[in-house]
Amino acid sequence: MYGLMLTKQEHQEIEYLLKREMEEITLDLGDHRIDSSIKGAMEKRYDVLFQLFRRFANGEECLQYMPKKKKQN
């Protein structure tokens, strides 16, 4: 386990960067031109970013960015 000390400003900046990246991935996942294998990698990245985001954000914000359930065929 690693520890990290941040100032309030650094905390807010990391939170902002995570939000922006997750929003961009969400938009790209809706693009029909992107191959499904690429979308799979993007979903994995989103999951990792969301796990980091959970450490910085409050519960309400986490609900907004919670990954969608994957459809079962």
How distant is the alpha carbon of residue 47 from its chain centre?
6
Residue pair 29/42 in contact (Cβ under 8 Å)? The answer is yes
Which residue range(s) make up the domain with 62?
35-66
Question: What is the distance between the alpha carbons of residues 10 and 25, in angstroms, rounded to a whole number?
Answer: 23
Chain position carrying tokens 């991935």? 25
Question: What are the DSSP calls for 14-35, one per residue?
Answer: HHHHHHHHHHHHHHHHT-TTS-
Q: Name the domain count of the chain.
A: 1
The tens place of each residue's pLDDT in the chain, 73 residues long, gives 888 899 999 999 999 999 999 999 999 999 999 999 999 999 999 999 999 999 989 999 999 999 877 655 5
The answer to whether residue 20 is domain-embedded is no
The answer to whether residue 57 is domain-embedded is yes
The answer to whether residue 53 is domain-embedded is yes
Residue pair 17/25 in contact (Cβ under 8 Å)? The answer is no
The answer to whether residue 14 is domain-embedded is no
